[in-house]
Structure 1
């Protein structure tokens, strides 16, 4: 449930008030050697300390309207080589002597967690140790390894007579086994660099391709556990001329943020989160610019987001103003239509939920952003039966997994949705988690409608930089990112 929050009138600050010399002193105190004249990527920020507050670094918003604010706290995430109490990496941790599936950084934390772990530990020991459940994972690959883990979860839930929480399932989904051969045992060693991946003797270097990204993921999990959710500030920069997006998120953020101390000291968790909340509007704008020759002269734009998730596309709606509308001075009206059968809409009046607070300059210019939530309805049902249907200028399918034949309620509902989307003649942008998925999604569309490429499948320069683990194809791509690959197609006329 959201809560209403009154924003006081604040002056917009784009440049820091501190002098250049003060900025250098502050950076030195934070361990940052010098001012950078180049973009700072997320990997370079791993050693930066957490940024506790952005207000003292400038770039404060001037919004003063009533808005709905949702306070979602991140859930606990299990990591096989992180202390179950404090999420500290455990190079020399104390592994539970019974289930051998969780680790602690100290005996103190092990004792503190004993009662919480005791019940599930007995079941893990029975199902996975005494019956050799996890031992069966050795040298098991692909779907067989995934099926084994799913079956183990089913057995554990039956024994516990309750559903496992998400973090408990992760103990089985991402267990303490060798990353290469999946051997289970208490003699495994953690990688000395990322401290997240375990390996047998002789398999130390098998994950080097992914090691830096695992290190980033571990750092983000640790900061998330300690500090909770972060809400990165986005500068209230309004372009006088239409902004053509560069082919790189780091370059774009540098262009609008480089004068800010907040940008230069931003830690990897905050920066990755900034990319995560920005990927929807920036990917949309990137696709809009690639697919429409007159994009910079449009005074209105309607975007349909198909198969939307509330906590991904339905939150952080303020970014549409700053990272879509502010970059197009001729745009006066933006309408976002979120549709999806599993789109959960909180018990809040929709007129408030879809109200995007605008800065004073946009209000004075009578600019408007409208967000429509079409929940619990398939996209083709919205197009065919809704009285408030609005023709789109762009249709977005973010990470839809079109190639999967089992979707909503275990049925394949995509053909009718794809057919309806193609009938609109609007450009269709499709994103995917992996290089393997994106061509299969496009093939699914082309099997139903005759489509031509505006943009062939490629890496999305505005993908999220916030990693997550991949269960679907973890043998080839263990870490995934929202909107990582992109393609744009249009119906052949």
Structure 2
């Protein structure tokens, strides 16, 4: 569920918005990073996509080659002459007349400007018509105590205005507090729960253990939902999950006037009268909190960040590259700032973690590589398919065919066609050299997939952020024992990652416990040099690590 953004491979003329941006797996293992929501699916040519993006300011996700003969296509794949433009204009006018689109008047003017541009040569395959399925994502909103809940401006080192009723949300001015109509229903539910808890939802929470406090917040969310008779959005849940209270777990002071905030990040609060309540190790996390907030604010203003993607295909195996930054340098990726690098790392961490594991096992010189991704989900593993070409195939010259198999019971296609995804084509350079990436999607449990006719023998098995140590899984059942046993039987390298250092040893203990043979621990639990550096807040073990990162820690066995 990281994270999907507009991708146009190798398009050197693409205008990009640069700046600072924006869980349940195989067995429902709380992948706690909430993802964006797919709001539409369109089949559009590249030129039309650019015009739409410029006029509507919508972030657009991965670009996938579809069947040129697809009868459902409503728009031709290339803008080549005025008759086409005429036809397109008529269709747009009909759409507007029927209320099917809210397009600015300048859209067709922009299309006219783009009409004379050359087609995107590295995406099109020879002269045949190609179409692209565009998944348009609406980035979800985040709640943070240091961001105005109405205008999303930074509240750091400014005078906070607290919601006068629920006392749980914050604003840059009283006017913005009064203008925040979207908060009213949640505010009512929060007040009702607070009244039953002694006037404030977090009254007397300083008496709870960390685990009790986590349970308490979940119970509070459920009570609010029952009062307003609907599920809370992820943003609304965060009002309760990440409140403005003293960060000292033995205090948890909640009263507004008794608290002050870190002047660096503005996201961690402590008692004015007891400055030592601010954790001694907070300075280790402060910059990451700032980065998290900067990405949220950028996302609210401009949509999802669209980082530069590599276009280089390496001729030699980059064995000297020991971390993600070195790979990005080798690929000559043009990254403008820390936020863009964080967004790119969220995209690249999956294929690069797999590449790193096979590098350690000295298995990067095979001509065919098959990777199994256990517990895959649309939002987290299938967010941008051609990342496997850019960050695995392009840096592994010996590989001619890369097979990526996504397996998981929650691999629900919804409004995404797996048949179209399977037709994703590699770049022109790879096609010219008979290199390819093939994608397979298996909606089910791994041990069942291993018994089926579509099974492909793996060279590497990946468990990305599975939370193996947690006893509950898919549909509240623990199916990890069968899955782990099936993975171990394959007698190939297995890599398991986690969001935090705290989880990795517990995942390793569980994996060994459920294995039916001796395992060699080739990579002990350690910081993953190819993990994401995009921070997310940690609810599961916040007393151990307040922030978490996709594939942050890893270990590998055989």
TM range (shorter): 0.7 to 0.9
Q: Deviations along 1:432-490, whole A, 9 cap, x unmatched?
A: 11112111111112112221111111000111111111111111211000100011101
Output the TM-score relative to the length of structure 1. 0.83
Residue 63 (str. 1) matches residue 123 (str. 2): yes
- Please list the CA deviations of residues 343-397 of structure 1 after superposition, one character each: whole Å capped at 9, or x if unmatched: 121344423112333221111112111100111x10000001x211110000000
Q: Structure 1 stretch 465-474 or stretch 225-234: which is displaced more?
A: 225-234
Q: Mean Cα displacement is larger for which, 159-168 or 121-130?
A: 121-130
Pick one of 19, 41, 53 that aligns with 1:2: 41
Pairing of 1:52-451 with structure 2 (within 5 A): 62-64=122-124, 65-90=130-155, 91-113=158-180, 115-128=181-194, 131-132=197-198, 133-180=201-248, 181-187=251-257, 188-201=259-272, 202-203=274-275, 205-206=278-279, 207-244=282-319, 246-257=321-332, 262-263=334-335, 266-291=336-361, 293-296=362-365, 298-375=366-443, 377-384=444-451, 386-449=452-515, 450-451=518-519
Using the TM superposition, give the Cα deviation of residue 105 of structure 1 relative to its aligned residue in structure 2, in angstroms.
Answer: 0.7
C-alpha distance in 1 between matches for 2:363 and 2:292: 40
Q: 1:245 to 1:226 in 2, by over 3 A?
A: farther
CA distance in 1 between partners of 2:196 and 2:456 (Å): 60
What CA deviation, in whole Å up to 9, does each residue of 1:240-274 have, x standing for no partner?
A: 112226222222212322xx6x42xx233322110
Between 74-83 and 343-352, report the one with greater CA deviation. Answer: 343-352
Aligned residues, how many? Answer: 429
| Stretches (4+) displaced over 6 A | none
SS in 2 for 1:451: coil
Structure 2 segments unaligned to the other structure (5+ residues):
1-39, 48-119, 125-129
2:526 touches 2:554 (CA, 8 Å); kept in 1?
Answer: yes
Counterparts of 1:277 and 1:112 in 2: how far apart (Å)?
37
Change (3 A) 1:278 1:390: same
In structure 2, distance between residues paired with 1:239 and 1:256: 8
Counterpart secondary structure, 2:509: helix
Q: CA RMSD in A?
A: 1.8
What are structure 1's unaligned runs of at least 5 residues?
Answer: 9-59
Q: CA deviation at 1:61?
A: 7.9
The Cα of 1:166 is off from its aligned counterpart by 1.6
**Whole-angstrom CA distance in 2 between matches of 1:96 and 1:155:** 20
* Deviation per residue, 1:209-252 (Å, 9 max, x gap): 32121111111111111111123221211111122262222222
- Mapped contact 2:317–2:396 kept (Cα < 8 A): yes
Summarize the alignment of residues 11-90 of structure 1 with structure 2, pairs less than 5 Å apart: 62-64=122-124, 65-90=130-155
Ranked by relative contact order (alpha carbons within 8 Å, sequence separation 6 or more), the top structure is: 2
CA contact (8 A) 1:139 1:183 kept: no
**3-state DSSP of counterpart to 1:158:** helix
> 211-220 or 272-281, which moves further after superposition?
211-220
Distance, in Å, in 1 between the alignment partners of 2:315 and 2:46 is 26
TM-score of the aligned structures, taking structure 2 as reference length: 0.74
> Structure 1 residues 349 and 214 mapped into 2: Cα distance closer, same or farther (>3 Å)?
closer
**1:43 match:** none
Q: Residues 255, 367 of structure 1: CA spacing in aligned structure 2 closer, same or farther, 3 A cutoff?
A: closer
Shift of 1:190: 1.7
Give the drift of 1:6.
3.0
Give SS of 2:396's match.
coil
2:416, 2:235 → 1: CA distance? Answer: 29
The CA distance in 1 between the partners of 2:402 and 2:343, in whole Å, is 24
User: Could you tell me how far 1:139 is from its partner in structure 2?
Assistant: 4.5
| Aligned mates of 1:203, 1:381 — CA distance in 2 | 55
Instruction: State the secondary structure of the residue aligned to 1:302.
Output: strand
Contact 2:364/2:399 (CA < 8 Å) preserved in 1?
no
